[in-house]
């Protein structure tokens, strides 16, 4: 897997993950780049310098900012182990992404979850974007710090999450006002795909549906934006 961009590479070298090498563009003189190279070397990583054209060939979008790290494929967290750990956490906070197929949305969702201190994210093995180079870049390296589990069946996963004591809400139109809903304690938020929303059966398995009130003429938000609102409303309530 290629980890692309300054922020993503900087977050990667903070972890204990194996890095084969870090490719750095020749001629970078800014303090941020110098410090990143210094930190990588101090951590014992192999740093290799090359011309910009070499990095351009390795990055289709050419938005590498002069840094590309090479590491093993993303390692997902075991779902059962994740749920078991949350069972003992009175403030457990989990997010389930149901049919998020757009890599940009998945990357943004990962970033939202990590920034908010969510304990884990569950995605499907099918009909869902996976953690790839581009998703890692969009997440700004947040995927390095968030437990992400993959499951074959989202509905079966919801059953296990509820059995662990997490109160589970689908974030969807037609539900209760999110700002009037108690989101403290063990919580799981389910966000649906860009076009279809949360699957009908999945909604039925949830304990409830919560909705973000809107005043504009357009009554829907991008999935990652909606999740951001939902997650940080829960964070706000938990700090009171």
Q: Which of 111, 109, 131 is nearest to 193 (CA)?
A: 109
How many whole angstroms separate alpha carbon 216 and alpha carbon 131? 33
**Which superfamily does CATH assign the domain made up of 79-238 to?**
SPOUT methyltransferase, trefoil knot domain (3.40.1280.10)
Q: pLDDT digit string (tens) for 142-183?
A: 998 999 999 999 999 999 999 999 999 999 988 999 999 999
Q: What letter does residue 78 receive in the DSSP assignment? A: P
The CA distances from residue 43 to 40, 57, 64, 166, in Å, are: 5, 27, 21, 39
User: 2-71: which CATH architecture?
Assistant: 2-Layer Sandwich (3.30)
pLDDT at 16 over 80: no
pLDDT at 80 over 90: yes
Q: pLDDT digit string (tens) for 32-74?
A: 999 999 999 998 889 999 999 999 999 888 889 999 999 877 8
pTM of the model as a whole: 0.81
């Amino acid at each position: 897997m290629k980890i692309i961009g300054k922020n993503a590479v900087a977050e990667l070298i903070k972890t204990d993950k194996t890095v084969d090498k870090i490719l750095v563009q020749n001629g970078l003189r800014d303090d941020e780049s110098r410090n990143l190279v210094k930190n990588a070397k101090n951590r014992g990583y192999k740093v290799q310098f090359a011309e910009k054209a070499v990095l351009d060939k390795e990055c289709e979008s050419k938005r590498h900012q002069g840094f590309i790290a090479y590491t093993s494929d993303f390692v997902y967290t075991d779902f059962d182990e994740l749920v078991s750990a949350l069972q003992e956490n009175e403030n457990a906070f989990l997010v389930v992404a149901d049919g998020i197929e757009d890599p940009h949305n998945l990357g943004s969702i990962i970033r939202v979850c990590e920034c908010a201190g969510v304990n884990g994210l569950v995605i499907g093995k099918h009909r869902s974007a996976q953690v790839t180079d581009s998703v890692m870049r969009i997440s700004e390296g947040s995927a390095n710090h968030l437990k992400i589990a993959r499951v074959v069946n989202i509905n079966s996963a919801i059953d296990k999450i509820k059995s662990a004591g997490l109160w589970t809400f689908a974030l969807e139109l037609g539900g209760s006002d999110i700002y009037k809903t108690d989101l403290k304690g063990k919580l799981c938020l389910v966000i649906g795909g860009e076009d279809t929303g949360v699957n009908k059966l999945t909604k039925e398995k949830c304990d409830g549906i919560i909705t973000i009130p809107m005043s504009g003429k357009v009554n829907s938000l991008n999935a990652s934006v909606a999740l951001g609102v939902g997650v940080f409303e829960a964070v706000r309530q938990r700090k009171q």
